[in-house]
Amino acid sequence: MSETKNQVEDSHYVAHVKKAGSTHDISTNEDIISESGHKLIAKNVTLSGDMYEKLMQHKLLKPLDMSISVGGRLDSNTLQEEFETIFRSEPLCKAILQHAENANLIKASLKNIKLPEAIAGKMTVMRSSMPEMFRHSLITALLASYSGTLCGFNDKECIVLATAGLLHDMGNMHVDPLIFAKRERLDLPNLKQFYAHPIIAFMIMQNFAEFKPLISAAVVEHHERMDGSGYPHQLQADMLSPYGQLLSILEVFVSVYTRSNSLKQALTVMRTNMRHFPAKLLAPVVTALNNLSINEPRADIGHLKQNIVQKLVLITQAITAWQQPFLMVSDKDAAKSPASLTTLHLDHIKISMIRCGLINHHLENVTKLNIENMLANNFDNELEYLVEMSTLVDDHVYQLVELIRNLLRRWPIIDKDIKTDKDTPLINWISFVDQMLGKLPHNMFCVR
């Protein structure tokens, strides 16, 4: 716990506060004390450059948010103005409010989000320093309220969902921002830091009674998966709250949507990953979103074909390079060894690709020439099909990246330069896949 506590107050967040300080007056509302008991900055002082540097060099006795006031911070009125801007400017949100039978209930849930002063200040820092993440949070809050009404949650429960949706990623302000821009697969130290962000947000929420236990539970669970493959605690379905289960669906959907600006692509990814999410919550959400109509981004046929060819070959080579036999491996067995987990997840990827029509059972026939011939002969004018096929291959590459992340999280020894006869095949396979993944655009490595 102490390790995570240290992650909650770190130089990364202070840097975000400093950046926000260029547009907001930020001052102390009490003395800021170091963890060792030394007074670093007195009460009622406006923070300046050298003071931020001092804060970056010390662990603090209390969370920084509790000791500062952010001028012009979000309040109920300005937060609603932010939502109104999203209603007008974001095509998906506009479509939802135009077609939803309960648009007033959705807006009421958002109006009833109550933020303590310290958290309002924190979200103001996010709005100033990480505007895209703030936009992502606003959209997730709206989708959470909307989806809650679709799934039978009552008015109070929809407020819980909307609040959790707004705050679910605030822990990311304590993560090195370079992690979000990395082109290559994240190594173990970076993964550990990123995987801590739900726990960081949870720990921050423990200072506020109004967030416990429902909102904080949803936030810490928003990257968990029904089969236990998520993080930070690898919780399975029966251990997750209904709020966390729904938020885990929306986190993936909004992440794909905001990166692609495509409702169809986001829905395609959700359908491909159905085993990760609770069917009783996923079905009404996907059905409702599928009935919406928004303008899709223009796609270039040549780029789509190139993407399909490159990544289908990559995934096929990754599967065939794994020399272990594809036997029936249960989830229980997979947890026992990295080789078993690799076998199970590659089997899932292979089966999913077959079901999606991306490959047949004979993987040896998936070659660059064969794929190019198939696309040239059959689908030259099927733009919609090519978009869906390109989305599907992107998602399966993402599943491959997630497999390696999962292996490193569960068995950190894999990331060390230590090889035994038992570990060598897996380490060699990861190295082989990494070389192929290194040729891909960096957005393939974004963590959902």
**CA–CA separation, 395 vs 269, rounded Å?**
6
* Lookup result for tokens 């970076």: 190
* Lookup result for tokens 């931020």: 52
Maximal CA-CA distance, the chain: 73
Return the pLDDT at 144.
98
Q: Structure tokens of 234?
A: 């690898």
In 130-224, alpha helices (H): 131-150, 155-167, 188-195, 197-205, 214-220
Q: Alpha carbon of 219 to those of 46, 247, 285, 297, 354: distances in Å?
A: 32, 8, 19, 31, 34
Q: Structure tokens of 176?
A: 């090195």
- pLDDT tens digits for range 256-272: 999 899 999 999 999 98
Q: Structure tokens of 439?
A: 């040729």
Q: Alpha carbon of 399 to those of 15, 106, 163, 396: distances in Å?
A: 33, 33, 29, 5
| Helices 279-290 + 131-150 axis angle, to 10 | 100
In terms of Cα–Cα distance, which of 171, 76, 165 is closest to 120?
Answer: 76
Return the pLDDT at 243.
98
Return the pLDDT at 368.
63
In terms of Cα–Cα distance, which of 426, 160, 185, 147 is closest to 292?
Answer: 147
The helix/strand/coil state of 323 is coil
Share of the chain above pLDDT 90, in %: 56
**CA–CA separation, 429 vs 441, rounded Å?**
21
Mean pLDDT by 10 residues, the chain (448 residues): 46 94 96 94 94 90 93 96 96 94 93 97 97 96 97 96 98 90 75 91 95 97 91 91 97 94 94 91 96 91 87 89 65 71 88 82 60 61 83 92 87 65 79 85 59
Q: For residues 247 and 153, is the Cβ–Cβ distance under 8 A?
A: no
Q: Report the amino acid identity of residue 211.
A: F
